[in-house]
Amino acid sequence: MAVKLRLARGGAKKRPYYFIVAANTTSPRDGRYIERIGSYNPMLPKDSAERVKIDEDRVKYWLSVGAQPTDRVARFLDAASLLKRDARNNPDKAKPKKKAQERLKAAEEARLEAEEAAKAAAEGGEAAAE
């Protein structure tokens, strides 16, 4: 049985509240879980002490028996100095995809051609004025 430390959503519509739980990986997100080990209230200010509450002893236990935290829970545990999380960076994620890059390249080529045509027309106009 694989166990994950993850978030289970509670709260009303547009008023999220999350429980940090140890759950079987096959259980639904808001369904059955083994144990509740904390809570997260994203509606509170980021500097509030009540925003993230974690039962450190239980988290240490679940990590010791092999439970894997999700990315978001790993961030919380790193902030609480319970787990070392490597910073992740994917600079390619922000780049446009292949078709968008082709459209940008075509637009740039069209702009350069228009500038050259305008420059040629301006030089031709100066020669006719003399």
Alpha-carbon distance of 24 to 10, in angstroms, equals: 18
* Encoded tokens for 9: 């959503």
**Average pLDDT estimate for 70-78:** 91
Cite the DSSP H helix spans in the chain.
Answer: 56-64, 71-79, 98-129
> Looking at the predicted structure, is the pLDDT value of residue 53 above 60?
yes
What does pTM read for this prediction? Answer: 0.66
* Encoded tokens for 104: 């940008």
- At residue 125 the predicted structure's pLDDT band, cuts being 50, 70 and 90, is low
Based on its alpha-carbon atoms, the radius of gyration of the chain, rounded to whole angstroms, reads 28
- CATH number for 3-79: choose from 3.30.1320.10, 3.30.420.480, 3.40.630.30, 1.10.3720.10: 3.30.1320.10
- Residue 118's identity, in one-letter code, is A
Domain range annotation of the chain: 3-79, 91-129
> Looking at the predicted structure, is the pLDDT value of residue 39 above 70?
yes
